Amino acid sequence: MNAPLFSNAAAVNVNARGKTDFLANARKGWGEMPPDWIIRLAEECERTSASDVARRLGYSVAVISGVVLASYKGDVGKVEAKARGAYLGAVVDCPILGEIERDRCIAEQGHRHSATSANRARLYRACRAGCEHSRLKREGGDV
């Protein structure tokens, strides 16, 4: 049986305008000094919306909220890597594409093999052939 992806977290903080207060939620979940990427994620949720952040990172709003509240039980490291690439400028040196943002690296690892594009085929092989940035566990594994 699979473990739930979220722990039993208390209700979220809401500001005076009735909107979710993501910075308060980050402090509630992570303590007074949340990691830098959590602060940036919460700031971006407040600047735009949790929906925009979720769309940019390829997750649901529930996952983003759960990560900010420190109640998400999934792969937080993967969310962190995507957030660092998207919002903190983290880059990696891809053996095929050169310098790319970390979130793009993770997205490329998730693509299926495609024989219609030489670049896509090279990326597919590189991500599975021991690239130091790959999060793939084994050949054909999920990112």
pLDDT digits (tens, 9 = 90+) for 81-110: 999 999 999 999 999 999 999 999 999 999
Half-sphere exposure of 137 (CA within 13 A, CB side): 4
pLDDT digits (tens, 9 = 90+) for 12-32: 565 556 688 999 999 999 999
pLDDT digits (tens, 9 = 90+) for 31-65: 999 999 999 999 999 999 999 999 999 999 999 99
CB 102 within 8 A of CB 92: yes
Tell me, what's the pLDDT at 79? 96
**H-only helix segments in 1-143:** 22-30, 36-47, 50-57, 61-68, 76-87, 102-110, 118-128
Kindly report the pTM of this predicted structure.
0.76
